[in-house]
């Protein structure tokens, strides 16, 4: 590093130290990192604006690739080897991976974020509007702000000299909002990186509760189920008679109501998103709509419903799926039913390893004078890419920016959280980079 750059960073660090007494808990390089992040705030906002203005809805493959092209030079300037992983065979654009080789035998870190958004080019929501400490735009918080935080933290580490020894893989997926198919291939490279890593840090949005920044050590699964019911049809005048079918709709209602009454428990939810019954009834090919025809004097022959299932652990997933199956199999007279599960996003369970990693993040927050963090209830967060690797590596989620209206027109980011989260991440990663690998 040039002498002038060192002097500037130390001067900035002294300014931060003077303004924040708790900074006494930080080493000189850590103070320099905090100062560097503060100094780069406008640069970070400018980068955020550039990538937000490029639409990168999951199905806008060209747009996702253009965002990757904007980001690749940013990582290369920090000494990372950049790789584009094509996913056209999985029906998606691809992933951008950036790799940094550091000191042998130290903690290996996998940083996860995503370039795609839920807003396709025809969504009607575009642009980037800055209003004081807030900015509005598609994907501004989910998850382009998370990418900016990664780069800001890495830049600060390089300026302070702590990046040189760090072993890091940055995985920016291009289809987090709707993973490609088959999902095993769409996430194969992420899984391979997790097998290499010791910790995974996910830079999706910051969770806050009662005005307090929270750490995320668990995220529930996101899976779907489809229930199909068939029944012998006939004239409704015979309903409830001996040997007469109860019909598909009563059977569907029985099953769904038993789900509601018998299955609820902590950290479990299951929703019925769409349902129909009649003679006949059918689900659309994409599973987003259902149709039915029927008469009041005909016992309905078909019914169908589709919903989701969110769990905190694989044990809970397996147990609840078995319980649902048992309810489905207990048929009313003259009916039959089957349920099909689509397991896509596995759970990120709240392990002791995740909790220990959170303790390190919490200590960083305290040392920086940012306050003690709590652990966010997993029932309040959905699934993400870190779920695919949670069984392989200790991890934390929620290291991205704060904001509102994620996945909705008018999505916002609280711009000061770029700085707050980048400082936390830079110090945490620098401390992890000094630790010896437990597996060596």
pLDDT under 70 in the chain at which residues? 1-24, 439-440
Residue 106 and residue 435 in contact, taking contact as beta carbons nearer than 8 Å: yes
Greatest CA separation found in the chain? 93
Of 159, 164, 206, the closest CA to residue 39 belongs to: 159
The predicted model scores a pTM of 0.88
Q: Where are the domains of the chain?
A: 3-219+348-433, 222-345
Sign of the CA dihedral running 187, 189, 194, 200: negative
Q: Do you find a cis peptide bond into 182, omega within 30 degrees of 0?
A: yes
Q: What is the SS3 assignment for 3?
A: helix
> Token pair 């044990």 is at which residue?
315
**Which of these, 48, 53, 232, lies nearest to 144 by C-alpha position?**
48
CA dist list (Å): 70 to 46, 64, 147, 153, 172: 12, 10, 12, 18, 13
Q: Any idea which residue has 């029985």 for tokens?
A: 254
Q: Judge whether 231 and 300 are in contact, CB under 8 Å.
A: yes
Torsion of CA 267, 354, 365, 190, to 10 degrees: -100
The encoded tokens of residue 26 equal 């930080």
In angstroms, the CA 223 to CA 344 distance is: 6
Q: Determine the 3-state secondary structure of 139 from DSSP.
A: coil
Fold of 3-219+348-433: Aminopeptidase (3.40.630)
Tally Cβ neighbours within 10 Å of residue 50. Answer: 15
Residue 292 has a CB neighbour count (10 Å cut-off) of 18
Alpha-carbon distance of 281 to 277, in angstroms, equals 5
What is the pLDDT at residue 148? 98
Q: In the beta sheet, which residues pair with residue 316?
A: none
DSSP three-state, residue 55: coil
The CATH-assigned architecture of domain 222-345 is 2-Layer Sandwich (3.30)
Q: What per-residue confidence (pLDDT) applies to 395?
A: 97
pLDDT of residue 11: 52
Which structure tokens are listed for 326?
């048992």
Q: Tokens representing 78?
A: 């920090």
- Residue 363: in which H helix or E strand, if any? helix 352-367
Q: 239-264 pLDDT, tens per residue?
A: 999 999 999 999 999 999 999 999 99
Task: Give the span between the Cα atoms of 243 and 225, in whole angstroms.
Answer: 31
HSE-CB of 9 using CA atoms within 13 angstroms = 23
Tokens of 267: 């950290």
In this structure, what token pair is assigned to residue 166?
A: 């760090």
Q: What is the 3-state secondary structure (H, E, C) of 375-411?
A: ECCHHHCCCCHHHHCCCCCEEEECCCCCEECCCCCCC
Residue (of 283, 30, 304, 244) closest to 156 by Cα position: 30
> Which of left, alpha, beta for 26 (phi over 0: left; psi -120 to 50: alpha)?
beta
Place of tokens 């027109």: 409
Q: Which pLDDT score, from 0 to 100, does residue 421 have? A: 98
Query: How confident is the model at residue 162, as a pLDDT?
Result: 97
222, 384 Cβ separation under 8 angstroms: no
Instruction: Measure the CA angle with vertex 130, ends 93 and 171; round to 5°.
Output: 30
């Amino acid at each position: 590093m040039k002498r002038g750059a060192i002097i500037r960073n130390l001067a900035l660090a002294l300014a931060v130290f003077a303004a924040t007494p708790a900074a006494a808990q930080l080493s000189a390089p850590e103070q320099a990192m905090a100062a560097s992040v503060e100094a780069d705030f406008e640069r970070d906002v400018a980068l955020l604006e550039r990538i937000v203005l490029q639409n990168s809805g999951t199905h806008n493959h060209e747009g996702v690739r253009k965002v990757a092209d904007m980001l690749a030079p940013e990582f290369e300037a920090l000494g990372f080897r950049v790789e584009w992983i094509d996913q056209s065979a999985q029906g998606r654009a691809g992933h951008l991976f950036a790799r940094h080789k550091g000191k042998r035998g130290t903690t290996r870190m996998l940083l996860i974020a995503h370039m795609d958004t839920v807003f396709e080019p025809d969504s009607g929501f575009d642009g980037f509007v800055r209003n004081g400490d807030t900015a509005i735009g598609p994907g501004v918080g989910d998850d382009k702000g998370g990418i900016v935080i990664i780069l800001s933290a890495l830049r600060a580490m390089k300026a302070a000299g702590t990046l040189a020894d760090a072993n890091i893989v940055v995985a920016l997926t291009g289809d987090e909002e709707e993973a490609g198919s088959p999902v095993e291939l769409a996430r194969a490279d992420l899984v391979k990186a997790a097998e290499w890593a010791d910790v995974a840090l996910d830079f999706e949005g910051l969770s806050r509760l009662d005005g307090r920044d929270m750490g995320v050590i668990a995220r529930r699964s996101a899976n779907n189920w489809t229930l199909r019911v068939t029944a012998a049809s006939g004239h409704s005048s015979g309903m409830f008679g001996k040997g007469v079918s109860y019909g598909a709709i009563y059977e569907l209602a029985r099953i769904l109501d038993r789900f509601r009454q018998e299955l609820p428990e902590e950290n479990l939810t299951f929703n019925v998103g769409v349902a129909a019954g009649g003679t006949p009834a059918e689900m659309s090919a994409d599973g987003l709509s259902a149709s039915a025809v029927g008469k009041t004097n005909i016992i309905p022959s078909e019914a169908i419903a589709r919903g989701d299932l969110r769990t905190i652990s694989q044990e809970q997933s397996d147990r609840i799926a078995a319980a649902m199956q048992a309810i489905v199999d207990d048929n009313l007279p003259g009916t039959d039913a089957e349920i099909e599960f689509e397991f896509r996003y596995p759970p990120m369970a709240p392990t002791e390893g995740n909790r220990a990693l959170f303790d390190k993040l919490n200590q960083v927050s305290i040392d920086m004078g940012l306050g003690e963090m709590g652990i966010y209830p997993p029932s309040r967060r959905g699934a993400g890419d870190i779920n695919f690797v949670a069984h392989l590596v200790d991890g934390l989620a929620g290291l991205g920016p704060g904001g509102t209206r994620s996945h909705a027109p008018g999505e916002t980011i609280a711009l000061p959280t770029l700085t707050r989260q980048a400082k936390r991440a830079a110090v945490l990663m620098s401390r992890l980079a000094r630790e010896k690998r437990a597996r060596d």
